[in-house]
Structure 1
Amino acid sequence: LLQHKDNPVDWYEWGEAAFTEARGSDRPILLSVGYSACHWCHVMAHESFEDESTAVFMNEHFVNVKVDREERPDVDRIYMDAVTAMSGHGGWPMTVFLTPEGKPLYAGTYFPRQRMHGRPSFLDVMAAVSEAWATRRPEAEEQAERLTLAISQSIPVAPSAPGIEIVDAALDQLSASFDPGNGGFGGAPKFPQAPTLEFLLRMGAIAPSPAARGRALSMLAPTLDAMARGGIRDHLGGGFARYSVDAAWQVPHFEKMLYDNALLARTYLRGWQLTGDAASRHVATDTLDYLLCDMMDPAGGLHAAEDADSEGGEGEYYVWSWDELGSILGADRRLAAEIYGATPEGSFEGRNILHLDRPPDAEAKASIDGRLLEARGRRTRPGRDDKIVTAWNGLALRAFAEAGAVLAEERYLAAATAIARFLTGQLEEHGGLLRSWRRGRPGPAGFCEDHAATAVGLFTLYQATGEERWYHEATGVTELMIERFADPAGGFFATAAGGERLITRPKNIQDNPTPSDNALAAEALLMWGAYTGERQARDLLEGAVRAATLVIERHPAFAGHLLAVWATVLLGVKEVAAPGAPDLARVVWERFRPEVVLATEGTLPLLDGRTRGMGYVCRDMVCELPVTTPDALRAQLAGV
């Protein structure tokens, strides 16, 4: 929103004031939804929203509302459904024309200043909508009513959740779209799909048969390797871009998002534990270090994103001409060619995007990287969206906590603790989680995603540190999530009960780049239930799965994280109690054990009656004989 404050457009924020103005002036609403790091949002802003004549038309004929999709994912989700229903595809910027009651009249994405490539101009679209509102209103309102009804239809809740056979069925479907040459799924553009990778990661560890574990790893390992070597990864500064415009991961869309990097850092960390590939360990720490160095806010949270654009062009900060490489590296330019595939012709508009065709010589790469980083530091860095999004910080909290425990790295645990303190400070100050925060200014109230991701992160921090405070904070957030968002029929709504009334109350079943609300809620419930033995936890978790069963069965790639959680439940969660036994707790972290929930300290039900210095492996609160040595605990965890 701040990026548009100097536009000649009379922008309103989403809220009652805009709808009151629309009703009073009898004008439709023009809703524009974007986000700060969105390249095409910047293009449309420059072409249209900064143009005086376009702004005059907008202000005369519409009440103009600007929404940051990252602050209002509910508004984004509802009207993106309208865009996809009307056009068959979605994307940002999203442009939707609404009645004064908020019902969608017409919906699209980017509209150019002038007609091009079969797209009407933005002015043509606005003129057509304005004319229809003025002369064919009953017809327009009837269409809006039909579209509202269509997007309000929810996926029916299944009477039962799928059985463990769903694992093989999902692997079959994923295999059909897997790209064996390049890794990943489908063709261009290609996204990391971290929730799908989470399913493969877990099934590579705990799938019910060696064949299923092998199939999962045969898709996971080459995907991680290809992304790690590709241009989608910043080989100098760390971190991943949002997606690749080609199928081989070489040409990225250069924006960097917190959620991608938090999820992928954890995926590479656990992938290293699963496969033993040392390169994955390096990618994990490199990505976490990027977040620590470049995205940390002094208040304790992490910033949302870095733009794709700088110095007036997309990717300018990251690409290199052949001549630039020569002036920086001299004769060592040949090393850049060998290591990073640089050529005189380049791979992106005459310039080179760095990528690795093969594992490089570490010493030569370090020599090249140091000089290129120094030169890059003299460039104008892309703009940063410095708002702190709660859900994405919850994902990062989990990644840092797990990395701290797995690698015995105190700085990662310190980062996780700083994020946790920031997030839980909202509970004390505002009586609940916020969606976002920027420079002392609180954003909207939190959504289900914010509560669920934070709960999972806090439970993980408790496991990593044994500090009882984080267990109680996680439990409180989980109970708040249930109270505000649970649907008695099954699953979780995105918006809180008693909150702002929208044209429908969305329930996010499908993963996007991040796990769905229901998937994160299910994971929080898995942990809460393991610690407390609460029957309600299993019932609500199963309800979340039943709400998504049709998606899981037909399109498992759209519900990978929830499927991963449910398969973990079906295969058996193991509670490990190890009070006063750090050597035994360490056993849990030495391998990727997604089925294990660990308790070490505090007054929680799982630790009731446990003897300090001993380890217990339990299922549904029923425990095997206690053990006192790491080897004995390993044997029990392995079922020996």
Structure 2
Amino acid sequence: MAQNRLAQETSPYLLQHADNPVDWYPWGPEALQRAENEDKPLLISIGYAACHWCHVMAHESFEDSATADIMNRAFVPIKIDREERPDLDQLYMSATQAATGHGGWPMTVFATPDGRPFFAGTYFPPSDRGGQPGFPRVLLSLEDAWANQRESVEEQATLLSDAVEKEALFMNTLEAGGSIDQLNFDDILATLTNDLSQRFDEKNAGFGSAPKFPRPSYVEACLVHAARTGNIRSRALATQTLDAMAAGGIYDHLAGGFARYSVDDQWLVPHFEKMLTDQALLARAYLHGFQLTKNPTYAQVVDETLSWVLSELSLKGGGVASSVDADADGHEGSHAVFTPADVGEALIGHEGTLSLEEACALYSVTPSGTFEQGASVLARERSESLLRSPAEEATRSALFAQRMQRPQPTVDDKVLVEWNAMFASVLAEAASVLGNEAWGQAASDIVLMLDEEMRSSEGRLARASRNGVVNHLGMLGDYAWLLEAMTRLFELDGQDIWLERATRLANDMLELFYDGSVDSIETIEEGAGFYTTGHDAEALIVRAKDLFDGALPSATASAVTALSRLVALTNDPLHRAVVASTLTRVGSVLDSHASAVPDLVLALGSLHHRVEVAIPGPRGELARAAHQTFIPFGIVVTGTSTLSPLLQGREIGSAYVCRSGVCDLPVHDVSAMQDQLTKAVRN
């Protein structure tokens, strides 16, 4: 059978559909022009390679010739990889949520030839099921509506497009002006953590109910509140959640790393896909938990998670792959679950392991199973230490070896700048805290590759690449996370190259994405935050601004946070004005809807309560102690940089603890520095 146009794409998700009988187009002018010429609506299907329900709908509907015939006859079908095009995903997710009250993937949107949505949903079954219409019935109904009820379709397109625009440009409705000093970070943080306390699952930990997602930003907010105030409740919210996830089935006890989310409220049965972003953000939350509590289990989780990424997702051409599928050989989770018989088979021939009964008890493997067909998801008891004895380690190794003999899930091996930079940022920070030099080198290699190779022929930072083919213009998140990673590397090794690159990248980011002039502080204060896409990007139904946090921090929060870190290192007044102006603009949202923007709340803290620790000269005992301390919004710099004011004119061998540039007297021993840090953190 002939392949469709997706065979010419590089995205693994799009390539998965290249053999469908559906006449798929990638998003682009060819598809839009055909829709206009033939007066056909667009059928836009959005998903990602590791998405289980995307595979299900593809098998049930997109591989079915009868369904494909309707799609090809009545619509112009378009496939989009949401990871390559988060701008399109954001717009059409807004439409889906406006139309249905919920969202998810696969996302199925029907739009006019110019891209305005008029009907939207997520997964549709192949036939009517459980009160949900079958996909063929949806197709035929919308084909009829387009032919015979065009006026109603246009009205619905206007309503949904207006809803999308209202959300996409919500930031423009907020009043400019005022002073950043009017925003009280500690009051806003207290409001946020009080709200999280109300949402907390007292039995199972975490926030909300099934399906339960890790929310690392919520954990981070609780850790910051605990560090700044000594609040016992906030500390418990964070540590109990970290403990529950580390013990649960959402964590991979054999290889390391986290699944996307838990289908139950107990963190037991996950959807098994592993996303690079989850590994990065959760590793950072556990790293900060370790800094605050010194719990060695948290350091072990960081080590295992980052090591799994480097071992299993590193690519020969540089960079890190995006995700691992939920399915193996067509069955979700089959690569990761065990029956007692599987455990017994795995232990054969291995010395020093636990007994079969002990191994099953350790990993909660039962005769009836906790998953499908009598198999169990491996999990530990929250009440026991997750640090392994020699016998437990031998058992883990034996089970892992048996697991690796099974069919393995596929890897989405495209490189995304935002995701790679996010991982590199965490890797560099973890290298500083845990003293792993190899991690620091890996982070440096990733960032240099992104900054030098992930660019268009004109030198513009790109979004994605696969097998050396660079695709799509970089978006705000790509620039923001690469900027943060560069600041983390400067903390790690003190080399001026990172500040030089970071300053250049920050200026590019402002020129491409800031809604306003950055010529002076006065013009910056009249600005209206950041667009998600650059001024050179294609025109969509609206040029959006990403304000509210989801699975990832919003692009606005990421940009403000990264720029604030750079300001701490360079003291650039224009960059600081952009941070202050953007946060002031969203002040009313911070005050009234903090739980919807936790990363912007933390960004406010990074401006108001930055703690800088300057230790001129080579890294030594003082630097190691500072890095191992949880310093919310902290910057720890060493070396002899000529570019950062933090190190200029300061005595080698001394530690200078500063709050937003105002420094205590220099100290020369760890104890005195720790006393100053404790006061600075709680200021």
Q: Normalising to structure 2: TM-score of the pair?
A: 0.90
Q: Secondary structure at the match of 1:398?
A: helix
CA spacing shift, 1:215–1:522, aligned 2, 3 Å: farther
Shift of 1:622: 4.1
1:377 aligns with 2:404: yes
1:54 aligns with 2:74: no
* Residue number among 633, 636, 641 corresponding to 1:602 in the alignment: 641
Residue 459 of structure 1 is matched in structure 2 by 487
Q: Which amino acid aligns with 1:150?
A: A
How far apart, in 2, do the equivalents of 1:314 and 1:546 lie? Answer: 46
Describe the superposition over 1:326-368 as per-residue Cα deviations: whole angstroms up to 9, x where unpaired.
3333692201222011110000012110000133652232122
Contact in 2 for aligned 1:239/1:286 (Cα 8 Å): yes
Residue 5 of structure 2 is matched in structure 1 by none
Residue 84 of structure 1 is matched in structure 2 by 97
* Residue number among 56, 62, 67 corresponding to 1:43 in the alignment: 56
How far apart, in 1, do the equivalents of 2:242 and 2:644 lie? Answer: 39
- Following superposition of structure 1 onto structure 2, how do residues 538-557 of structure 1 map, counting pairs within 5 Å? 538-557=576-595
1:617 aligns with 2:630: no
Contact in 2 for aligned 1:231/1:355 (Cα 8 Å): yes
Shift of 1:31: 0.4
Residue 230 of structure 2 is matched in structure 1 by 210
Q: Which amino acid aligns with 1:559?
A: V
Describe the superposition over 1:264-297 as per-residue Cα deviations: whole angstroms up to 9, x where unpaired.
1121112111112111110110001100110111
- Following superposition of structure 1 onto structure 2, how do residues 560-579 of structure 1 map, counting pairs within 5 Å? 560-570=598-608, 572-579=609-616
Shift of 1:590: 2.2
* Residue number among 357, 360, 369 corresponding to 1:346 in the alignment: 369
How far apart, in 2, do the equivalents of 1:240 and 1:539 lie? Answer: 38
Describe the superposition over 1:536-587 as per-residue Cα deviations: whole angstroms up to 9, x where unpaired.
23322233334444443344332112212212433x2123332214224333
Shift of 1:596: 2.2
Shift of 1:483: 1.2
Contact in 1 for aligned 2:346/2:402 (Cα 8 Å): yes
Contact in 1 for aligned 2:226/2:235 (Cα 8 Å): yes
Q: Which amino acid aligns with 1:573?
A: R
Residue 592 of structure 1 is matched in structure 2 by 630
* Residue number among 359, 366, 389 corresponding to 2:385 in the alignment: 359
Q: Which moved more, 1:100-109 or 1:193-202?
A: 193-202
Q: Which amino acid aligns with 2:637?
A: A
Shift of 1:605: 4.0
Q: Which amino acid aligns with 1:157?
A: L
* Residue number among 536, 551, 561 corresponding to 1:498 in the alignment: 536
Q: Secondary structure at the match of 1:346?
A: coil
Contact in 2 for aligned 1:114/1:122 (Cα 8 Å): yes
Q: Which amino acid aligns with 1:543?
A: S
Q: Which amino acid aligns with 1:338?
A: A
CA spacing shift, 1:550–1:93, aligned 2, 3 Å: farther
Shift of 1:492: 1.3
Q: Secondary structure at the match of 1:37?
A: coil
Q: How large is the Cα RMSD of the aligned pairs?
A: 1.8
Q: Secondary structure at the match of 1:348?
A: coil
Contact in 2 for aligned 1:575/1:619 (Cα 8 Å): yes
Q: Which moved more, 1:536-545 or 1:621-630?
A: 621-630
Q: Which amino acid aligns with 1:282?
A: Q
How far apart, in 2, do the equivalents of 1:147 and 1:609 lie? Answer: 59
Shift of 1:395: 1.2
Q: Which moved more, 1:296-305 or 1:539-548?
A: 539-548
Contact in 2 for aligned 1:335/1:364 (Cα 8 Å): no
1:390 aligns with 2:411: no
Residue 298 of structure 2 is matched in structure 1 by 280
1:4 aligns with 2:17: yes
- Following superposition of structure 1 onto structure 2, how do residues 260-339 of structure 1 map, counting pairs within 5 Å? 260-329=278-347, 332-339=355-362
- Following superposition of structure 1 onto structure 2, how do residues 123-522 of structure 1 map, counting pairs within 5 Å? 123-153=136-166, 154-155=169-170, 156-159=173-176, 160=178, 162-164=183-185, 165-206=187-228, 209-211=229-231, 214-329=232-347, 332-349=355-372, 350-357=374-381, 358-359=384-385, 362-426=389-453, 430=457, 431-488=459-516, 489-522=527-560
Shift of 1:429: 5.9
Contact in 1 for aligned 2:189/2:221 (Cα 8 Å): no
Contact in 2 for aligned 1:197/1:560 (Cα 8 Å): no
Describe the superposition over 1:7-63 as per-residue Cα deviations: whole angstroms up to 9, x where unpaired.
111111111111101000110000000000000000111111111111111111111
Identity among equivalent pairs (%): 41
Q: Which moved more, 1:535-544 or 1:220-229?
A: 535-544
Q: Secondary structure at the match of 2:612?
A: strand
Q: Which moved more, 1:594-603 or 1:480-489?
A: 594-603
CA spacing shift, 1:394–1:201, aligned 2, 3 Å: farther
Residue 520 of structure 2 is matched in structure 1 by none
How far apart, in 1, do the equivalents of 2:230 and 2:528 lie? Answer: 33
Unaligned runs of 5+ in 2: 1-13, 349-353, 517-526
Shift of 1:621: 3.6
Contact in 1 for aligned 2:323/2:411 (Cα 8 Å): yes
How far apart, in 2, do the equivalents of 1:309 and 1:428 lie? Answer: 33
How far apart, in 2, do the equivalents of 1:494 and 1:428 lie? Answer: 18
How far apart, in 1, do the equivalents of 2:588 and 2:676 lie? Answer: 36
Contact in 1 for aligned 2:611/2:631 (Cα 8 Å): no
Shift of 1:518: 1.2
How far apart, in 1, do the equivalents of 2:89 and 2:265 lie? Answer: 28
Contact in 1 for aligned 2:613/2:657 (Cα 8 Å): yes
CA spacing shift, 1:451–1:626, aligned 2, 3 Å: same
Residue 31 of structure 1 is matched in structure 2 by 44
Residue 524 of structure 2 is matched in structure 1 by none
Q: Secondary structure at the match of 1:578?
A: strand
Q: Which moved more, 1:420-429 or 1:373-382?
A: 420-429
Q: Which amino acid aligns with 2:174?
A: V
How far apart, in 1, do the equivalents of 2:454 and 2:104 lie? Answer: 33
How far apart, in 2, do the equivalents of 1:305 and 1:452 lie? Answer: 21
Contact in 2 for aligned 1:490/1:540 (Cα 8 Å): no
Shift of 1:427: 6.2
How far apart, in 2, do the equivalents of 1:36 and 1:549 lie? Answer: 37
Q: Which moved more, 1:449-458 or 1:425-434?
A: 425-434
Q: Which amino acid aligns with 1:492?
A: F
Shift of 1:458: 1.1
How far apart, in 2, do the equivalents of 1:598 and 1:82 lie? Answer: 43
* Residue number among 23, 26, 35 corresponding to 1:22 in the alignment: 35
How far apart, in 2, do the equivalents of 1:487 and 1:426 lie? Answer: 28
Q: Which moved more, 1:294-303 or 1:239-248?
A: 294-303
* Residue number among 73, 77, 83 corresponding to 1:70 in the alignment: 83
How far apart, in 2, do the equivalents of 1:289 and 1:427 lie? Answer: 24
Contact in 2 for aligned 1:588/1:596 (Cα 8 Å): no
Contact in 1 for aligned 2:188/2:594 (Cα 8 Å): no
Contact in 1 for aligned 2:454/2:464 (Cα 8 Å): no
CA spacing shift, 1:356–1:158, aligned 2, 3 Å: farther
Contact in 1 for aligned 2:343/2:360 (Cα 8 Å): no
Q: Which moved more, 1:482-491 or 1:90-99?
A: 482-491
How far apart, in 1, do the equivalents of 2:218 and 2:586 lie? Answer: 15
Q: Which moved more, 1:31-40 or 1:471-480?
A: 471-480
Unaligned runs of 5+ in 1: none
Contact in 2 for aligned 1:171/1:215 (Cα 8 Å): no
Shift of 1:181: 1.3
Contact in 1 for aligned 2:109/2:120 (Cα 8 Å): yes
1:582 aligns with 2:619: yes
How far apart, in 2, do the equivalents of 1:490 and 1:597 lie? Answer: 28
Describe the superposition over 1:172-194 as per-residue Cα deviations: whole angstroms up to 9, x where unpaired.
11111011211110110000011
